[in-house]
């Protein structure tokens, strides 16, 4: 258990409630540890903390347009372009125009697939699951699997290198909030699964371990289970089945939207929700230094109300160590939004350790992103 030097303190002009009733003409900034769970201070500034005029050096906020990444002709997930990663998490963007030729198995960690576009069928050790846009598909490390596409698919892959994906503790709001665990689907040994077992042909399994791929060849289809029992299996969760936490009087931090977590990162999902209605409560993400985490957001669908120049299929990267927050257009409606709610779907990956940008991402960078907080003259 970590111990912090703790001294609740009020200095100068402040609000007594974070994210609400700000002193007139001020902009609130949260300086916080442990990804919104640790000690924090709220500071009230005369200027928006993102009002910079220029950025130099490697810390700048980045954005990448993954739509511009070419589809490869290899159907293996291990050929997908790595975007961002470190020793504990790897993010890849995989464009799969047709079904996988071979089976895949990740020996490096649990794999969380987020289906951005398309639809198809997962066949794995445990059976069959239909998959479509907005699905998370958690594949435990070591699972053998393949996907058949009925529509070309684009998938964000999030590998928990050396660890396991888990569900967050729901704490005060209880087990059934955000999504009921009963809504998690597991693969079925159904007619489609039995049909794909028919006929003998040679099957290859592409096994990834320590980043290197080995190939195991069988003279039969190894997805030949007739049954299974246990508490380990892939699970499917669609973003439309998430019922986001919100308060009409308080803008909840991103951590309220935690969907999965592993040892050194968390995955949060932003889904449509009404804006706060209390007149004094801010309605946009507050300015913050999330000083222990690098933040990545993948934009899936909808209108990204706090970001200009961002479209589905883009990724933003905010390395820890600087303040970020809403773009000027959203900031104008901090207290009085122009619509009743947000209709965005986005996946956030917060990493406890510094992330490296892979060459594929650098090649599709939206270089002017750091300037997008500048107020248009
Ligand atoms: Fe953030």
Cα(131) to ligand 1 centroid in Å equals 30
- Say how many Å lie between the CA of residue 244 and the centre of ligand 1: 18
Using a 10 angstrom Cβ sphere, with 0-12 exposed, 13-18 middle and 19 or more buried, the burial of residue 209 is exposed
Query: Is the model's pLDDT at 377 over the cut of 50?
Result: no
Instruction: Give 130-149 pLDDT, tens digit per residue.
Output: 999 999 999 999 999 999 99
User: What is the pLDDT, as a whole number, of residue 287?
Assistant: 93
Could you report the per-residue pLDDT of 68-96, keeping only the tens digit for each?
A: 998 877 899 999 999 999 999 999 999 99
What pLDDT score was predicted for residue 127?
98
Taking all residues of the chain, what is their mean pLDDT, rounded to a whole number?
93
Where b means 16+ CB within 10 Å and e means fewer, 154-190 reads bbbbbbbbebebebbeeeeeeeeebbeeeebbebeee
Name the region of 306 (left: φ>0; alpha: ψ -120 to 50; beta: rest). Answer: alpha
Predicted pLDDT of residue 36: 86
Nearest CA to 257 among 275, 244, 240?
244
Task: Tell me the CA–centroid distance for residue 47 and ligand 1, in Å.
Answer: 18
- To the question of pTM greater than 0.75 for the whole model, the response is yes
- pLDDT tens profile 192-228: 999 999 888 999 999 999 999 999 999 999 999 999 9
Q: How far is the CA of 168 from the centre of ligand 1 (A)?
A: 19
User: How confident is the model at residue 306, as a pLDDT?
Assistant: 66
Confidence at residue 26, expressed as pLDDT on a 0 to 100 scale: 95
Q: What are phi and psi of 252, to 5 degrees?
A: -75, 145
Instruction: Give distance in angstroms: CA of 318 to centre of ligand 1.
Output: 7
Two structure tokens written together for 263:
């040892």
Percent of the chain at pLDDT above 70?
A: 98
> What's the pLDDT at 92?
98
Q: Lowest-pLDDT range, 266-280, 320-334, 342-356? A: 320-334
Query: How far apart are the CA of 235 and the centre of ligand 1, in A?
Result: 28
**How far is the centre of ligand 1, averaged over its atoms, from the C-alpha of 238 (Å)?**
24
Cα of 228 to ligand 1 centre, how many Å?
A: 42
Query: Which pLDDT score, from 0 to 100, does residue 305 have?
Result: 65
How far, in Å, from the CA of 197 to the mean position of ligand 1?
Answer: 46
pLDDT of 30 over the 50 cut: yes
Mean pLDDT of 107-124: 98
CA of 52 to the centre of ligand 1 (A): 17
6 Cα: distance to centroid of ligand 1 (angstroms): 24
Alpha carbon of 102 to ligand 1 centroid (Å): 39
In this structure, is the dihedral angle defined by the CA atoms of residues 330, 336, 342 and 347, taken in order, positive or negative? positive
Q: Output the CA 36–ligand 1 centroid distance in Å.
A: 10
d(CA 272, CA 294): 24
pLDDT band at 37 (very low <50, low <70, confident <90, very high): confident
Q: Is the pLDDT of residue 162 over 60?
A: yes
Distance CA 165, CA 187 (A): 17
CA of 203 to the centre of ligand 1 (A): 44
Q: Ligand 1: distance of its center to the CA of 306 in Å? A: 11
Report the separation in Å between the CA atom of 181 and the middle of ligand 1, taken as the mean of its atom positions. 27
**277 Cα to the center of ligand 1, angstroms:** 23
Cα 158 to averaged position of ligand 1 atoms, centre (Å): 19
For 275, the token pair is: 């804006």
Q: What percent of the chain has pLDDT over 90?
A: 81
The confidence score (pLDDT) of residue 1 equals 61
Residue 229 pLDDT greater than 90, yes or no? yes
pLDDT for 35? 87
Q: How far is the CA of 129 from the centre of ligand 1 (A)?
A: 34
pLDDT digits (tens, 9 = 90+) for 230-279: 999 999 999 999 999 999 999 999 999 999 999 999 999 999 999 999 99
């Amino acid at each position: 258990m970590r111990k912090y030097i703790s001294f609740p303190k009020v200095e100068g002009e402040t609000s007594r409630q974070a994210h609400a009733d700000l002193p007139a003409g001020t902009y609130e900034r949260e300086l916080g540890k442990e990804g919104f769970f640790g000690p924090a201070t709220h500071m009230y500034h005369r200027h928006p903390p993102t009002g910079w005029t220029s950025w130099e050096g490697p810390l700048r906020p980045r954005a990448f347009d993954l739509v511009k990444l070419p589809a490869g002709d290899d159907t293996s997930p291990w050929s997908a372009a790595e975007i961002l990663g470190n020793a504990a998490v790897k993010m890849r963007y995989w464009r799969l125009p047709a079904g996988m030729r071979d089976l895949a198995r990740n020996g490096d960690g649990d794999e969380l697939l987020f289906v951005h576009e398309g639809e198809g069928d997962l066949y794995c050790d445990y059976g069959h699951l239909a998959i479509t846009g907005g699905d998370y598909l958690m594949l435990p490390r070591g699972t053998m699997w393949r996907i058949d596409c009925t529509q070309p698919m684009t998938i964000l892959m999030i590998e928990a290198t050396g660890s396991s994906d888990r569900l967050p503790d729901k704490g005060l709001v209880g087990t059934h909030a955000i999504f009921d665990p009963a809504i998690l689907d597991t693969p079925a040994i159904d007619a489609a699964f039995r049909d794909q077992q028919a006929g003998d042909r040679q099957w290859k399994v592409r096994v990834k371990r320590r980043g290197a791929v080995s190939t195991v060849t069988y003279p039969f289809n190894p997805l030949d289970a007739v049954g299974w029992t246990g508490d380990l299996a892939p699970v499917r969760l669609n973003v439309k089945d998430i019922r986001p936490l919100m308060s009409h009087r308080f803008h909840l931090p991103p951590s309220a939207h935690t969907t999965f977590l592993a040892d050194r990162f968390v995955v949060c999902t932003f889904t449509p929700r009404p804006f706060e209605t209390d007149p004094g409560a801010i309605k946009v993400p507050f300015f913050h230094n999330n000083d222990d985490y690098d933040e990545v957001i993948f934009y899936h669908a909808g209108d990204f109300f706090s970001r200009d120049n961002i479209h589905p299929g883009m990724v933003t990267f905010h390395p820890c160590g600087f303040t970020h927050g809403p773009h000027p257009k959203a900031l104008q409606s901090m207290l009085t939004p122009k619509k009743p709610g947000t209709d965005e779907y986005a996946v956030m990956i917060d990493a406890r350790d510094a992330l490296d940008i892979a060459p594929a991402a650098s090649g599709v960078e939206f270089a002017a992103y750091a300037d997008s907080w500048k107020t248009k003259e």
